Structure 1
């Protein structure tokens, strides 16, 4: 049965022939339209996406791109120039280069590290350690290669080491070096003032850095300057009251004095009496502010404004002025200083020798401690205190110099029974060399106190602290100090009347006074119309020679003479002692004539004498004893 059915099925199939199937017709136009439409839609989608990315919603991707390639880099600004009163540069900023590396880039080329270490002079281990510690950073200054000369930077960059770059900065240079270092101070590695005028006027001198947008490639190189964010503003220039010539003269003569006397330190301050301007301020030991190191920090100290010391006999003119102003004495009042000492509680005040009877002027001329003690006994404690304070002792002078000390002048409520007498001749109070010069400038300015200033034309408001008549009278008294018989004859200047006061103070050590001294000379010149006030302090001169060779009249007065002699001529100050100058000139002319006369005579085996030039400094003066 099954076989029969299969046979019928086959037969049936054989009986009907199969019709051929029609093939579909190919439509090329339709297919092209479909493909073109698809491509068109894709293009529209791409354009739309591009428009969206570039114009509509581009902030995110722009931020990502900028983070990788765009940078805002600083534009350095130069610091303002500092000049002296005559426009001579004292501090200038010069363009330099600072080398830096991209640690991420440099760490990929460790084989170049030895080459970089060799050209920079750095130990390979130190350089490799620094780079590896910052391998995830993009910026690092090469150690000890910030603000170097462009030539040295180019030598490194020419090697083409990947990831090594440089940037422009400015470095401070001080043409006068150590001669003005204590006044100017210095700046740090970021060009910010650290000491002196650089610190006091940092905001004025410092420029404001600018900024610009740049695009860097993957190697860190700038390939395009995109835009200026803000322009750099250079710092403002500053004109100081310092006269470079007088400053150098003071520095030179102070060094000479320390070499001749074996002293450990010294200070000089020169003020313009009429304006309070600081014309010179020199200190030793000193340092070179072009190469500031951490060594010998003590030499960085501006002793003229920071060091406190007992003023010794330079205090006596102020004591006399206080009594004259009060009316308890006159210039002709006499004092019996016999036998050369006077009790002061359980102590005693002594003179260099017994001067007998002295008038008020004689007390200053001979520098009598006994006479000064007798004068101050006539004054009320509070009055004496307030009068001395008026001269600036125990308070800042107002110069604005960083670190200036106010001094120590205790209130009368803290005085012992011996304090006032000791203060009358310079013990029991502490002042700075600047304060001494300021006090003498006040006397020379007819009793008007002007705050010292380091800026040309920066004179402040004057205070009348003593009547003009008293101030002028004290100045005339001080003139006798530099004349024959005075304690400061070595300060005399040919052609000029000099008013001054020498001083010698013992240095306190361990609660008592040692055989070590401070030698002072402070004065004014010329007397008729004082132009300059100057204070000289020589610290710890050699006492081995004995006598008074460590005193202010012997040690400090010659420094005053040499500096002031030069300053008067540099500033064209007319002489006020023509008669003495003419007499000295005549004596020199006569001496020259005698020398030439002798040289005209035949002298076998002897060369002709050379004419002696006319002296241009000072006439010979006698050396007198020095008082504390």
Structure 2
């Protein structure tokens, strides 16, 4: 073999060796690639199994947290109406703005835009956001006009959202404010009927599940979890028309008398329904921000006062029931005052000899005291207690006061005599109205109610005959010679009683007065009982109940009788007035004897 052949053989062997090695390297690389792909597939399958099977619930929950929300469905509060279906309180849809502080944090430009849209200082908004920096929710402004909210939302400021709510609206404003009360920013009742019937009116919000995108916009309603239940409507016993009359006339009287406040209550005698309850000063329940909290108080049910001479019909009735006097018993009130311990019980002037009716007609403190002396402490206490003094009327109105009527063991030697003409005990205007309604209802006491239809609870506390006798005695008060001729109503017999009580102050009595009138109309077929209280009238203008409270009664009752089509029970007087062309009781009619004011220091109630 030549050298040339040997070299060719070596080159050929080397070439074959290289081809073999090349084939081996490709096969190995293919195997490595396939092995890697296989491992990746296994990893992906394991990852999918973990996500879709092993921990599916966890990852689904995490996804829902980011995009799925359970949100409340707001519901409307029940409407409050008067007895005739006229709306007194309604809920209207509004919008509220809220923000996610975490989405706005650090974005000075967007915060400035938002502050400008809200009309508030930038630093104030920045401070609010900073205080809630770790939260996801901050109220920006509640209960706005939906149009204004939409203007803000149209600016597409990140992290700013709107939500639908409801706002309470009171069409009658301050005229019915103390009866209705108001709701807070969350639409929960705070005072009055809104508080007493909050659970009934409130309703129950619903709940739904939604999906939101990254911008917080709702893209899908996923599920209705709980339907919203609107609040139930409530029909009150209040008659909007009589309520307005009572408020208007009371406001006029308080202003004219230069008084500090006043209250009035009108009741349906047979059902115990409160047809009107007004207080002055009042407030606007549609805008309570900045109002004086003292004006929110319903004085007719929360304020305690000594009833003055409105107490005298009960004193007379107690003595008649005990048979210690008769309607014809005579009382010598000369010389116009009698001792009461270290003090005196006085009349404004000497009335001389009066019969039982005359004690009420002339409103004699001395006569009432002489009558009370014939009663034992227990007889007097038990009788008055039957009319509810010293205890709540159970009307259900929030904050109602029970009054103060101490039992005999807590009396002093002068207490009963002082009580006989309305001192040494305290009651509310509602309790006085309830007492006079009981007398007019044949001695049947019906629990006062603010709901249409009344409470249905009643009991006989005195005989119908005794109640009728007292009513006829009180009728003389509004007739010529009585202390309340300004309460007379043409064509109707009116029974009532004036009262003028000095206001207790610092253990004695100040030169300040309460002017009362409590009355019933018509006498022969009673329909309405009303009490009027004018607190602290200007003494320079007069301070008697017959001067300020009696005209309020007349003006309101004239309207109520006309609205309810109550026929006259004094038809002869009415016909005579029609024939003479006189259509209303003359406002300049003589007021009779002025209501006496006792000149004694207040008795201790301890």
**TM-score normalised by the chain length of structure 2:** 0.92
Residue in structure 2 matched with residue 574 of structure 1 by the alignment:
567
Per-residue Cα deviation, 1:492-511 (whole angstroms, up to 9, x for no partner): 00111000000100111111
Cα distance in 2 between the residues matched to 1:202 and 1:35: 75
Q: 2:323 aligns with which of 327, 330, 334?
A: 327
Residue in structure 2 matched with residue 615 of structure 1 by the alignment:
583
1:509 to 1:36, Cα distance in 2 relative to 1, 3 A: same
Residue in structure 1 matched with residue 480 of structure 2 by the alignment:
484
Residue in structure 2 matched with residue 466 of structure 1 by the alignment:
462
Matched, 1:162 2:158: yes
Taking the TM superposition and a 5 Å limit, the aligned residue runs for 1:584-599 are 584-588=577-581
Cα distance in 1 between the residues matched to 2:442 and 2:289: 45
Cα distance in 1 between the residues matched to 2:412 and 2:319: 21
Q: 1:76 aligns with which of 74, 97, 101?
A: 74
Quote the offset at 1:277 in angstroms: 0.4
Kept in 1, the 8 Å contact 2:481–2:593? The answer is no
**TM-score normalised by the chain length of structure 1:** 0.89
Quote the offset at 1:223 in angstroms: 2.1
Kept in 1, the 8 Å contact 2:90–2:168? The answer is yes
Quote the offset at 1:464 in angstroms: 1.2
Residue in structure 2 matched with residue 564 of structure 1 by the alignment:
557
Kept in 1, the 8 Å contact 2:377–2:408? The answer is yes
Quote the offset at 1:106 in angstroms: 1.4
SS of the residue corresponding to residue 541 of structure 1 reads: coil
SS of the residue corresponding to residue 523 of structure 2 reads: coil
Cα distance in 2 between the residues matched to 1:200 and 1:17: 115
Cα distance in 2 between the residues matched to 1:109 and 1:432: 60
Residue in structure 1 matched with residue 108 of structure 2 by the alignment:
110
Residue in structure 1 matched with residue 600 of structure 2 by the alignment:
none
1:15 to 1:467, Cα distance in 2 relative to 1, 3 A: closer
Matched, 1:368 2:364: yes
Quote the offset at 1:388 in angstroms: 0.7
Matched, 1:134 2:127: no
Q: Structure 2: give runs of 5+ residues left out of the alignment.
A: 1-5, 597-606
Number of residues paired by the alignment? 587
Cα distance in 1 between the residues matched to 2:321 and 2:403: 24
Q: Out of 400-409 and 146-155, give the one that drifted further.
A: 146-155
Per-residue Cα deviation, 1:81-136 (whole angstroms, up to 9, x for no partner): 10000000000011100101111111242112222212212111110111122223
Cα distance in 2 between the residues matched to 1:37 and 1:211: 53
Kept in 2, the 8 Å contact 1:492–1:618? The answer is no
Kept in 2, the 8 Å contact 1:494–1:618? The answer is no
RMSD: 2.4
Taking the TM superposition and a 5 Å limit, the aligned residue runs for 1:205-284 are 205-284=201-280
Q: Structure 1: give runs of 5+ residues left out of the alignment.
A: 1-12, 589-613
Kept in 2, the 8 Å contact 1:105–1:219? The answer is no
Matched, 1:451 2:444: no
Q: 1:625 aligns with which of 570, 580, 593?
A: 593
Residue in structure 2 matched with residue 596 of structure 1 by the alignment:
none
Q: Out of 74-83 and 334-343, give the one that drifted further.
A: 334-343
Quote the offset at 1:341 in angstroms: 1.2
Kept in 2, the 8 Å contact 1:562–1:617? The answer is no
Cα distance in 1 between the residues matched to 2:120 and 2:138: 15
Taking the TM superposition and a 5 Å limit, the aligned residue runs for 1:270-349 are 270-349=266-345
Kept in 2, the 8 Å contact 1:494–1:619? The answer is no
Cα distance in 2 between the residues matched to 1:581 and 1:40: 113
Q: 1:380 aligns with which of 376, 388, 402?
A: 376
Q: Out of 178-187 and 458-467, give the one that drifted further.
A: 458-467
Kept in 2, the 8 Å contact 1:311–1:505? The answer is yes
Cα distance in 1 between the residues matched to 2:8 and 2:173: 127
Residue in structure 2 matched with residue 531 of structure 1 by the alignment:
527
Cα distance in 2 between the residues matched to 1:200 and 1:618: 43
1:17 to 1:243, Cα distance in 2 relative to 1, 3 A: closer
SS of the residue corresponding to residue 60 of structure 2 reads: helix
